[in-house]
Amino acid sequence: MAATAVTEAPKRGLSATAFSLPSRLVAAFSGPVGLAAKIALLSVVNAIAVWALIVLIDHEKWIAAAVLVAVTAAIDVIYFLPRAVPAKFLLPGTFFLLCFQVVPVLYTVDIAFTNWSTGHLLVKSEAIDGIKRASLEQSENGKSYTMAAARDENGDLVLLLVDEDSGKQFVGSKEGLKPLPAGSLEESGGIFTKTPPGYKLILGQELVGLDKELSAFTVPTGGDNAIRAEGLSNAVVLHPTLRYDAANDRFIRIADGAVFTDNGRGSFAHGAEELEPGWRTGVGFSNFSRVFHNKLIRDPFIRVLIWTFVFAGATVFLSFALGLLLAITLSKDGMRFRSVYRSVLVLPYAIPGFLSLLVWGGLLNDDFGVVNRLLGHIGIHVPWLFEPNWARVSVIIVSTWLTFPYFFLVSLGALAAIPGELVEAARVDGAGRWQVFRKVTLPLLLVAVAPLMIASFAFNFNNFGNVYFLTGGGPASSDQSVAGATDILISYSYKIAFASGKGQDFGLAATISIFIFVIIGTISAIGFSRTKSLENLA
């Protein structure tokens, strides 16, 4: 007994030392050091909050500013109260949940009820200014100037101008036209060789990259007239073709008197004619109505929805079936090289998915792919990625190849957890292998695997990468819509957001995203209810 006590003493001492280190750290940061660290961190948080508050107030975001003040005050109070220990740990998780889950969802819903799209990106005041600029045209007898782009002392863009008729010299800025003393500018062959003090010519690569800014730059000259650059060395006087009536909030076309009024959908319109740009505004359930009533949107949406279900369902079913088959095969005792086989089968799961998809895209290439070269030896040629039905088959095959290792690993663990006594009892009762599998193994396996299958279905329902990196959603469909033959809902919404109609249509894309959320949420709820997985977990 004494010897035992002597030999165990060092072990107890080592354990006490090891476990005392966290305690010592907690004790060290519970005194003045901890208080100082807390004050320093909260000072940083409050400094960032003050900066953010100034920015929000400057942009007149009053609701966001009020929320920021309330959240910052709550953080200060919670972390200074000595007994608010649970809240101190709950607050960070709640904060990140709001930032990365709740806020994006609410933002997406907000976008879905607007007309935010190409041509409707601005606020109304900016759209009015844009229409005024866009309505400027050169008259037949309008003045023209020799021009050079320059920067003033503040670094702002200005135009150095010489009237081609009178030779008078000016500096044009956003504020207007300012005359220069004679001889301030000298030019030879359209190139300025002398500029007034305080102005620096824009030359070389900077001038080439100035094209977009220069084309949008105008110099007001009185009334609605303005001077605008035409190229890099000339400018002309432009006259408006539209007049804005601020009292009645409308545009009037000077040539024929046509009146363009606010149509309530973010545009000034005269019948079917709309002025561009428009502005972002709320449109209610208009985007949702377009999905159901606009044939150009409804038909592709239904087709893509059906294919999305087929793609997700087929991928999950085939991956689970293949993974389970391999798990049953490799779970048998006495198999040689079993560990090697298991390691090889997990390789697709270990390689980054997008790399595998790009490799598969090369393997299935119609002309140069290895797969078609091998099949060509027996006289077979398959348009894997260029014919709609074969492209769908390709996406399912590659997705199954990427997913089955997951179900292989899950099934291995689930099979190991099934009591062997149940299988032996079933065999003693005269059940064959198929009956044992169907009546005993599969039901017990599904208790653990069914929730994971539901999660995998939800994942593949939104599996943007498997479609985009392999086929890009193509090939093009016969209805000439933006949705290709292999597009699923998420890639379809991506294309709507960036390549539909006039261009970007964020409002409609956000609406499709809401449909995706509702569909996945409903399927998941029904699936969990049917499998009673939640009750089992409880």
Q: Does 285 reside within a domain? A: no
Residues 211 and 330 in one domain: no
Q: Does 117 reside within a domain? A: no
Residues 454 and 526 in one domain: yes
**Rounded distance, CA 295 to CA 244, Å?**
36
| pLDDT (mean) for 174-185 | 87
Write down which residue in 55, 84, 112 finishes a domain: 112
Q: How many CB atoms lie within 10 A of CB 390?
A: 17
pLDDT confidence tier of residue 437, bands split at 50, 70 and 90: confident
**Rounded distance, CA 467 to CA 278, Å?**
34
What pLDDT does 500 receive? 62
Residues 473 and 525 in one domain: yes
pLDDT confidence tier of residue 60, bands split at 50, 70 and 90: confident
- pLDDT tens, position by position, 485-502: 999 999 999 999 987 655
**Rounded distance, CA 411 to CA 445, Å?**
7
Residue type for position 94: T
| pLDDT (mean) for 210-216 | 81
- pLDDT tens, position by position, 280-290: 999 999 999 99
Residues 397 and 494 in one domain: yes
- Alpha carbons within 13 angstroms on the beta-carbon side of residue 74 total 13
Residues 90 and 132 in one domain: no
Token pair listed for 221:
């000259």
Alpha-helical segments (H) within 377-475: 388-417, 420-428, 433-436, 442-461, 464-468
Close Cβ partners of 370 (under 8 Å, ≥ 6 residues apart): 362, 363
Residues 376 and 494 in one domain: yes
Q: Does 16 reside within a domain? A: no
From residue 366, alpha-carbon distances to 112, 371, 389, 399 in Å are 39, 9, 14, 19
**Rounded distance, CA 454 to CA 320, Å?**
11
Residues 499 and 373 in one domain: yes
What pLDDT does 432 receive? 82
What pLDDT does 530 receive? 74
Q: Does 279 reside within a domain? A: no
CATH code at 148?
2.40.430.10
- Of the candidates 241, 296, 267, the one whose C-alpha atom is nearest the C-alpha of residue 508 is 296
Residues 378 and 512 in one domain: yes
Q: Does 9 reside within a domain? A: no
What pLDDT does 10 receive? 47
Q: Does 424 reside within a domain? A: yes
Write down which residue in 112, 140, 158 finishes a domain: 112
CATH code at 315?
1.10.3720.10
Quick one: DSSP state of residue 114? Answer: B
Could you tell me the residue range of the domain that residue 246 belongs to?
124-274
- Return the minimum-mean-pLDDT range out of 23-32, 158-167, 364-373, 401-410: 23-32
- pLDDT tens, position by position, 80-108: 887 777 887 888 888 888 888 898 999 99
Residues 352 and 428 in one domain: yes
Residues 136 and 233 in one domain: yes
Q: Would the CA dihedral through 454, 455, 456, 458 be positive or negative?
A: positive
When divided into structural domains, the chain yields a total of 3
CATH code at 96?
1.20.58
Residues 522 and 452 in one domain: yes
Residues 182 and 329 in one domain: no
Q: Tell which wins on pLDDT, 266 or 223.
A: 266
Q: Does 263 reside within a domain? A: yes
**Rounded distance, CA 1 to CA 402, Å?**
60
What pTM value is reported for the model? 0.78
Write down which residue in 274, 301, 318 finishes a domain: 274
Q: Does 85 reside within a domain? A: yes
What pLDDT does 8 receive? 47
Close Cβ partners of 117 (under 8 Å, ≥ 6 residues apart): 501, 502, 503, 504, 505, 506, 507, 508
